Amino acid sequence: MSLPAGLTAAVLASAGLTGTGTAQASQTSQPSQASRSTQASQPTQPPPVKHPAPTIGATAIPRHALTGYWQNFDNGATVQKLKDVDDAYDIIAVSFAEATGQPGAVAFRLDPAVGYASTDAFKADIKAKQAAGKSVILSVGGERGAVSVNDAASAKNFADSVSGLMDEYGFNGVDIDLENGLNSAYMTQALKAVHERHADVVVTMAPQTIDMQSPQNEYFKTALGIKDFLTAVNMQYYNSGSMNGCDGKVYAQGTVEFLTALACIQLAGGLAPSQVGIGVPASARAAGGGYAAPSVVNAALDCLTRGSNCGSFKPAKTYPGLRGAMTWSTNWDAANGNAFATQVGGHVHGLP
């Protein structure tokens, strides 16, 4: 479901973006884009604390990175262990941590369907990926995720549980994939608390397209609130129908223009190029709509970083530091012959 063009254009105009030249879940379909962020009263926030740039432990995130979600369940895609994930993936998001009975807290349990004989074997695979220069993070939420962080207590519970899982499993960080509403003030508070405990934390986000149409949206405000340590926003450029780009025009999903004109919103709205990635399904089977062939994704990457292969929309400037691309999922990619890892991964790693 998409917003009416007039309404979206009005939102963009109010944000000062009009005329500027912005994972799939645990099942095979995504919810509609109609979900809204919680509009709770916001607490007074102290001035942001500046932190040194994260070192990611002994592993640095590449200038241009490929991110893939790894499924801790079997939904018809190729079942993998972490060690089976294609080497092209620089960041692997383990999907998903889920809500517990304690507000804001999350837990992670290995699904027997993925074939691990023990938790220790899973942890060993995490370490092996890290030894190969990869970052393995824990994704929170998904399509059916019901994690709610909307007050100080739940923010603390979220930070405590995420930090505990990072320590227990050795995860490099956390991915926020909450598709049923998000409170920017308290999620920002929670993520800053995680960062205080793990200065090298990798933090990624996978908002739906509707969540990043304006810097006034809760997801966008969260990204800006943690900009000093945010790794990347890999928006889901799919399952949304047509949406407005930063020029106020409507673009159809699955096209080069859709990818570039929506990325432009994020770039014009305050995120650094290194914090913007293009998230797409690994195959037509991986999402309900919006699949873009590797050639389309690569053209969009070229347009944003080099100003070439743009189609009908061309940004007013280029962004050579663009982070890269993301896909749902490594499992669906494996089922499709690892075409995304091979074609898009190779292209990402060859960007300027």
Crossing angle of helices 184-197 and 218-225, in 10° steps, is: 30
Per the omega criterion (within 30 degrees of 0), is the bond before 139 cis? no
Dihedral angle, C-alpha 239, 240, 244, 246, nearest 10 °: -50
Q: How many CA atoms lie within 13 A of 268 on its CB side?
A: 25
* CB-CB neighbours of 130 under 10 Å: 19
In sequence order, the 6+-apart residues with CB closer than 8 A to the CB of 266 are: 22, 212, 220, 223, 233, 235, 275, 276
Amino acid at 341: A
Distance between first and last Cα of the chain: 35
Residues composing the chain? 352
The single-letter DSSP state of residue 45 is P
Task: Give catalytic status of residue 179 as yes or no.
Answer: yes
The answer to whether the beta carbons of residues 190 and 155 sit under 8 Å apart is yes
The active-site residue, picked from 98, 143, 179, 218, is 179
Residue identified by tokens 């007050």 is 151
The answer to whether the beta carbons of residues 70 and 121 sit under 8 Å apart is no
Q: Which of 226, 264, 228 is nearest to 243 (CA)?
A: 264
Per the omega criterion (within 30 degrees of 0), is the bond before 96 cis? yes
Residues marked as catalytic? 179
